[in-house]
Amino acid sequence: MNPKFQRFAMRNPLFRRTARYHANAMFAVITGFVQTKALTAAVDAGVIRTLAQGPASAADLAQVAGLPIDAMQRLLGAARAIDLVELAAPDLWVLGQRGAALSSNQGALAMIEHHKIFYDDLADPLAMLSGGRGQGKLAAFWTYAPAAGQGLPAAADAASWQGGGGAVAPYSALMAASQPMVAEQVIDAYRFDRHQCIMDVGGGHGAFLAEVAARHPRLAMKLFDLPAVVEGAKPKLAARGLSHVALHGGSFRDDPLPRGADLISLVRICHDHDDRVVQALLAKAHAALPPGGRLIIAEPMAGTAGAEVMGDAYFGLYLWAMGSGRPRTAADYLVLLASAGFSTAREVSTALPMVTRLIVAER
């Protein structure tokens, strides 16, 4: 807190590197919103998409975006500062390292577009917090969260959820686009070949099951989700050659889970819901599994070393704005699983815990 000490640390050879690191890190937090908006602008202007096809000049990029040349040059300068683009020659732009990685990541691109809603709620974060959970635009997007108070549509609203369209379509599409990067971490970390049948609860349009099937085609599969979501999943699964997936429409809030699977997966499901709903869901999973059957929970978690910004800051505020759920630690889940009757539960390491961590419980 002492300005004199700060100046001393900046000049002292022993402390200078650490002092500069923390100063730069603090400035990155202060300017983080500007960096995010530069990223959004580069994506919306077609800079990432165009440069993924090959080098281009500022004039070429300005024409694609419909921007004046000086405005595009300013945007390219901002994008260069965060490693989205770089100069290969005078006025010949190419993707930078981060831009190249982003260009092929459909899940990240979908989240960038989706975040426009979240950032509207964050324009006045204290108003968002003081107004209570789920009072903004994000809650309206995740329509299922407020529809029945704790996560799933009320029976009276069933007609509006039929056909896979309406309220469920936007979030189902978002989850499908962002699922592969989570699925890759889970499939690499866990041996699915030890099982006969998997049931993905809250499985949306089957994106996770499709990734599992690509590596384990002999594994029998079930999908459980809202009736409207299941209807929307049918053509998508058929297009992927997965018509054999058994579809079960229902609400895990109100209905028991179907039996017959020796593995149940909850992929990015639990943190969207409050403790009472999660505890009941885990108990239903326990009841649906045979002795020795397993449950996997895969999602970003609070208290993840090196990724606290994702688990605690991002999801902490995101789920508040959404109006349901909270980020939990792995230890929180171990307690909930024991309370639901599972005999053992442990964490299995994933390659990128920032994206997802994995807990395996046995009945």
pLDDT digit string (tens) for 171-218? 556 666 677 888 999 999 999 999 999 999 999 889 999 999 999 999
Confidence of residue 14 (pLDDT cuts 50, 70, 90): very high
pLDDT above 80: residue 170? no
Q: Is the dihedral angle over the CA atoms 340, 329, 273, 190 positive or is it negative? A: negative
Instruction: Name the residue among 216, 198, 212, 202 with its Cα closest to residue 299.
Output: 202
Amino acid occupying residue 63: Q
State the pLDDT at residue 110. 87
pLDDT above 60: residue 164? no
Confidence of residue 153 (pLDDT cuts 50, 70, 90): very low
Distance CA 148, CA 332 (A): 25
Q: Which backbone phi and psi does 125 adopt, to 5 degrees?
A: -65, -35
Best CATH choice for the domain 108-362 from the list 1.10.540.10, 3.40.50.150, 3.90.800.10, 1.20.120.430: 3.40.50.150
State the pLDDT at residue 106. 86
State the pLDDT at residue 169. 56
Q: Is the dihedral angle over the CA atoms 343, 283, 353, 181 positive or is it negative? A: positive
Task: Find out whether 152 and 142 touch, Cβ atoms under 8 Å.
Answer: no
**Does the domain at residues 31-103 carry the CATH identifier 1.10.510.10?**
no
pLDDT above 70: residue 36? yes
Q: Mean per-residue pLDDT for 296-325?
A: 92
pLDDT above 80: residue 108? yes
State the pLDDT at residue 47. 98
State the pLDDT at residue 158. 32
pLDDT above 50: residue 163? no
Structure tokens at 202: 């809250």
Distance CA 124, CA 112 (A): 20
Distance CA 218, CA 229 (A): 25
State the pLDDT at residue 140. 85
State the pLDDT at residue 311. 87
Structure tokens at 191: 């041996």
State the pLDDT at residue 144. 52
State the pLDDT at residue 107. 84
pLDDT above 70: residue 334? yes
Q: What is the mean pLDDT of the chain?
A: 89
Q: What is the DSSP string of 168-214?
A: HHHHHHHHHHHHHHHHHHHHHHS-GGG-SEEEEET-TTSHHHHHHHH
Confidence of residue 162 (pLDDT cuts 50, 70, 90): very low
123: Cβ–Cβ under 8 A, 6 or more apart, which residues?
Answer: none
State the pLDDT at residue 9. 92
Distance CA 71, CA 64 (A): 13
How many CA atoms, within 13 angstroms, populate the side-chain half-sphere of residue 261? Answer: 29
Distance CA 307, CA 304 (A): 5
pLDDT tens figures, 260-278: 999 999 999 999 999 999 9
State the pLDDT at residue 173. 63
- Per DSSP bridges, beta strands 197-201 and 263-267 are parallel
State the pLDDT at residue 184. 92
State the pLDDT at residue 287. 97
State the pLDDT at residue 141. 82
Q: Which sequence spans correspond to the domains of the chain?
A: 31-103, 108-362
Distance CA 94, CA 91 (A): 10
Cα of first residue to Cα of last residue in the chain, in angstroms, is 52
* pTM exceeds 0.75 for this model: yes
